[in-house]
Copies of this chain bind each other. A is one copy, B any other.
Amino acid sequence: MASGIPALDRLVDEFRKMPSVGIKSAERMAFYVLGLNDSEAKSLSESIIDAHKKIHKCSVCSNLTEEETCPVCKNGKRDRSTICVVEDPRDVAAIERTHEYNGLYHVLHGVISPINGIGPDELTIRELIARLSDNTVKEIIMATNPTVEGEATAMYISRLIKPMGISVSRLAYGIPVGADLEYADEVTLSRALEGRREI
A: residues with CB less than 8 A from B are 1, 3-8, 10-11, 14, 17-21, 25, 27-34, 36, 38, 41-52, 54-55, 64-66, 70-71, 89-90, 93
Kindly state the separation between the CA atoms of A36 and B52 in the bound complex, as whole angstroms.
8
Kindly state the separation between the CA atoms of A82 and B159 in the bound complex, as whole angstroms.
75
Q: Write out the residue numbers on chain B whose beta carbons fall within 8 Å of the beta carbon of A66.
A: 5-7
Interface centre among A42, A48, A52 (most CB of B within 10 A): A48
Q: Write out the residue numbers on chain B whose beta carbons fall within 8 Å of the beta carbon of A10.
A: 47, 50-51
Nearest B residue to A1 via CB reads B93
Tell me the dominant secondary structure on chain A's binding face.
helix
The quantity of this chain's copies bound in the complex is: 2
Q: Write out the residue numbers on chain B whose beta carbons fall within 8 Å of the beta carbon of A50.
A: 7, 10-11
Q: Write out the residue numbers on chain B whose beta carbons fall within 8 Å of the beta carbon of A27.
A: 90
A55 touches B90 (CB 8 A): no
Kindly state the separation between the CA atoms of A64 and B11 in the bound complex, as whole angstroms.
14
Q: Write out the residue numbers on chain B whose beta carbons fall within 8 Å of the beta carbon of A36.
A: 52
A34 touches B3 (CB 8 A): no
Kindly state the separation between the CA atoms of A41 and B10 in the bound complex, as whole angstroms.
14
Q: Write out the residue numbers on chain B whose beta carbons fall within 8 Å of the beta carbon of A42.
A: 49
Kindly state the separation between the CA atoms of A126 and B11 in the bound complex, as whole angstroms.
31
Q: Write out the residue numbers on chain B whose beta carbons fall within 8 Å of the beta carbon of A33.
A: 48, 51-52
- Minimum distance in angstroms from A29 CB to a CB of chain B: 5
Q: Write out the residue numbers on chain B whose beta carbons fall within 8 Å of the beta carbon of A7.
A: 47, 50-51, 54-55, 66
